[in-house]
Chains A and B, each alone.
Chain A
Amino acid sequence: MKSLKASTNITKTIIYVVCIFLAILSVFPFLVMFINATRSTFQIQQDSVSLLPSKYLASNWAVFKGKSFNPVVGFVNSMLSSGGATLCAVYFSSLTAYALVAYSWKLRQPFFTFILAVLMIPAQVTGIGFYQFMYRIGWTNSLLPLIIPAIASPSMVFFMRQYLLATLSLDIVNSARIDGAGEFYTFNRIILPIMKPAMATQAIFTFVFSWNSLFIPLILLTNSKKYTMPIMVSLLRGDIYKTEYGAVYLGLSLTVLPLFVIYFLLSKYIIAGVALGALKE
């Protein structure tokens, strides 16, 4: 018994060492980034890893303003497109899921099977057709093609359906009917509030996913006034910043900052959401 306890203690020590190492591995690159954002290019060239912030934040910022990188434009465009996509996805996925759960109609099962079938089909591999289509109708350099397609989000419909199956009692719907409520009114005023927890989780993921996406925005947006954040970021890889190390780190920090705020405010829900996503089968 004693030796078991001893071996448990050794294993526990190993576990903590490994976990702490992995935690540092997660944080360290971002730490270097934030600190180097406050250091001058000369300091970074002398020694690129420092745990002490310096005082060159303002001068790094000044390097930016002279160049084409405009984080404010990117931030606004990303906010509009990700916010719009999230609203569309959450509302219409809930509506579709409600149609699948609350009503019995002939095509219900085939429709659900269809949603399962297209669950994993990514937009990226059909990007060429999508680009040509958008080009023809004049929707390139518009945020609309980043927002409207979110109305059909199969995986979110799937998730919302599972949630409704577990939580919705049709008695509520029936009593609303007896009180004379229309079906659409019932959905908006009674069902949506019930779905709030699921909507919140899904909203976070859709927002982050949309905020981070690069491929489709990159092929559609050529006007720098319409650039989203990830496209703005990709400019930092260009020649104009080749020797401006401090400015590059500052630019990267600016794009990460909003995500850090979201993550550390909502991490509890995000982790729970990831776990839930796995159990959706």
Chain B
Amino acid sequence: MRNKGVNYAKYGYIFSIPFVLTFLIFSLYPTIFTAVIGFTDLRGMGRTDFKFLKQPFDNFVLILNNPTFRKSLGNTALIWIMNFIPQILLSLLLTAWFTTRRFKVKGQGAFKVLLYMPNIITAATIAILFNSLFGYPKGPVNDLFMRFGWLDAPTNFHMQKWTARGVVAFIQFWMWYGNSMIVLIAGVLGIDPTLFEAAEIDGATSTQIFFKITLPRLKTILLYVLITSMIGGLQMFDIPRLFLWGGPDSATLTASLFIYNQAFSGSYLYNRAAAASMIMFFIIVVLSVALFHLMRDKDEAKFRKAEKLRIRNAKKQGELV
């Protein structure tokens, strides 16, 4: 190809231009701009002019010492953990059930479609729907719980801090466990089937097979689910905002919601919001680096494997000749 005298390499550059330009303008520039605003006095609705602060880290110090910001980080972590632990356990259990050949679960396709469904519905809609479902004094959940005899009198779920957190965590769990399950099942289907066959012939029980073969082989995918879920969880915004505006008493105020409230309500503290954003950005970068290594190692491992195979084949051919 190369010796035909036409240099095609330049098209690699030309075809990448739209991506690179758009990235520089709409991703990189806003990122740097956000970081810069964090060092300035930019505040007030509609303001664009700013001066750099004499003490450059003032905003960062103020934000890190702000009890509401700390609380919002704590809430984010709490709600994420309350959603992730049941989510991963249930999706692993369902994965084990759906992939164990002894059970031959029928209607898997239909179950997958139904369990995944909440994931594609607008989070804003779901938040308001759940707000209505948990209505007080009359609401579907109150009515049902009383009908089953679990409650004697209607409960105002919206006023109890832990219930409110629990409902937000439940919504996240409910929206995402189907997604995790499908990802994990795909991971299991990617495992060499002869491994399972060999284990079965050796008389391993399905529990043994799951813990000794399936789980260890799913390590990368589990890590992938964990990290992507953490990055997504850090940005939790739609549901806590529309479910109870972060209430009651800031119990469901997440970090993203805190940033939004700083910048787009009250005294429009763009600078403080930017500083808080950068702290979040830093956490996400750390998580992304972990994910990056995970993905790259796999890619490279594949590449090295292919290379080895190529060399081996070449050697073999050499032997034959």
- Asked if B128 and A237 sit within 8 Å, CB to CB, the answer is yes
Q: If the complex has contacts A96-B15, A275-B186, are A48 and B138 also in contact, measured as CB distance less than 8 A? A: yes
* Pairwise interchain contact B139-A48, C-beta atoms closer than 8 A: yes
**Neighbour of B122 across the interface among A99, A100, A148, A229, CB < 8 A:** A229
State A105–B241 Cα separation when bound (angstroms): 47
Complex Cα distance, B238 from A229, in Å, reads 13
- Minimum distance in angstroms from A261 CB to a CB of chain B: 11
List of B residues within 8 angstroms of A105 by Cβ: 9-10, 12-13
Q: Knowing A96-B15, A104-B9, A116-B292 touch, does A132 contact B48 (C-beta < 8 A)?
A: yes
Residues of B within 8 A of A267 (CB): 113, 116
Residues of A within 8 A of B121 (CB): 30, 212, 256, 259
**A230-B124 contact, Cβ under 8 Å, with A133-B29, A152-B22:** yes
The answer to whether A237 and B12 touch across the interface, beta carbons within 8 angstroms, is no
Residues of B within 8 A of A152 (CB): 18-20, 22-23, 26-27
Measured CB to CB, the closest approach of chain A to B135, in angstroms, equals: 7
Contact flags B272-297 to A (C-beta < 8 A → 1, else 0) = 01100110110011011001101110
Interface range on chain B (Cβ under 8 Å from partner): 35 or more
In the bound complex, residues from chain A placing their C-beta under 8 Å from that of B274 are 128-129
Closest chain B CB from A31 CB (angstroms): 10
Q: A103-B8, A237-B242 are in contact. Are A92 and B122 (CB under 8 A)?
A: no
**Are A108 and B105 neighbours in the complex by a CB distance under 8 Å?**
no
Chain B contacts with A in 225-281, Cβ cutoff 8 A: 227-228, 231, 235, 237-238, 241-242, 256, 259-260, 263-264, 270, 273-274, 277-278, 280-281
Q: Please report which residues of chain B, range 109-126, place their CB below 8 angstroms from some CB of chain A when the two chains form the complex.
A: 109-118, 120-126
Closest to B184 in A: A278
Interface residues of B: mostly helix, strand, loop or mixed? helix
Q: Is the CB of A278 within 8 A of B182?
A: yes
Contacts of A1-28 to chain B: CB distance below 8 A: 8, 11-12, 15-16, 19, 22-23, 25-27
Q: How far is the CB of B176 from chain A (nearest CB, A)?
A: 11
Asked if B120 and A133 sit within 8 Å, CB to CB, the answer is no
Q: Do A128 and B122 form a contact, CB below 8 Å, given A121-B288, A278-B221?
A: no
**B79 located at the interface, meaning its Cβ lies under 8 Å from any Cβ of chain A in the complex:** no
A96-126 toward B: CB 8 Å interface, digit per residue (1/0)?
Answer: 1011101111111001010011111111111
Is B97 located at the chain interface by the 8 A CB criterion?
yes
Contact A126 B31 (CB under 8 A): yes
Contact, CB under 8 Å: B270 / A103: no
Task: Verify if B157 is at the interface (C-beta below 8 Å from A).
Answer: no
With A48-B143, A123-B27, A219-B260: A128-B34 Cβ-Cβ less than 8 Å: yes
Interface residues of A in 146-163 (CB under 8 A from B): 148-149, 151-152, 154, 157
- Report the 3 A-B pairs with minimum CB-CB distance, sorted nearest first: A129-B33, A129-B34, A103-B12
Provide a sorted-by-A list of 11 A–B residue pairs whose CB atoms are within 8 angstroms: A23-B111, A29-B133, A100-B12, A103-B8, A104-B12, A116-B295, A121-B284, A212-B120, A218-B260, A270-B116, A277-B183
Other 10 A-B pairs with CB < 8 A, given A129-B33, A214-B237: A19-B111, A25-B174, A48-B139, A96-B15, A129-B37, A145-B26, A218-B260, A234-B241, A245-B132, A279-B186
A-contacting residues of B (Cβ < 8 Å)?
Answer: 1, 6, 8-16, 18-20, 22-23, 26-27, 29-37, 42, 46, 48, 94, 97, 102-103, 105, 107, 109-118, 120-126, 128-133, 135, 138-140, 142-144, 174, 178-179, 182-187, 189-190, 220-221, 224, 227-228, 231, 235, 237-238, 241-242, 256, 259-260, 263-264, 270, 273-274, 277-278, 280-281, 284-285, 287-288, 291-292, 294-296, 298-299
